[in-house]
Amino acid sequence: MNAPNSALTVSRTAKSSKPKIPANHAPVIDMVKASISTGKDRKGISLPTIKKFIGANYKVDVEKLDPHIRRGIVHAVETGVLVRVSNKGKGASGSFKVAEMKA
């Protein structure tokens, strides 16, 4: 049996990490829900319309947040927070509206 050679083992020290800076904007899912709830269309709101609303009402770079917006929409549809209005599309494509709360 080979014993680990003490000369070859390297001790790893914990890297000091920078303190996490909080974002200057609301959580992405809250921005998405706000954009959908302010929309007057019964057929739901599409992804480009959601991006336009977020860009106009929040001081954020929509292009940098694009993957987060898409991931947030997909996660919200999977958890039942949002509903895809039509059965068209997969992922973040299609139109979405806020799911009705069951009483």
Strand ordering across the sheet containing 82-84: 45-46, 95-98, 82-84
Whether 86 has a pLDDT exceeding 80, the answer reads no
What local confidence, expressed as pLDDT, does residue 67 receive?
92
pTM of the model: 0.69
Residue 58 to residues 35, 55, 92, Cα–Cα distance (Å) = 11, 6, 21
Average pLDDT over residues 33-54: 85
Would you state the pLDDT for residue 1? 58
Burial environment of residue 81 by CB neighbours within 10 A (0 to 12, 13 to 18, 19 or more): middle
Q: How many CA atoms does the CB half-sphere of 47 hold within 13 Å?
A: 19
Predicted local distance difference test score (pLDDT) of residue 80: 87
Q: Are 81 and 27 in contact (CB under 8 A)?
A: no
Poorest-confidence range of 7-11, 29-33, 70-74, 94-98? 7-11
**Domain 28-98 CATH assignment equals 1.10.10.10:** yes
- The separation between CA 76 and the C-alpha centre of its own chain, rounded to angstroms, equals 9
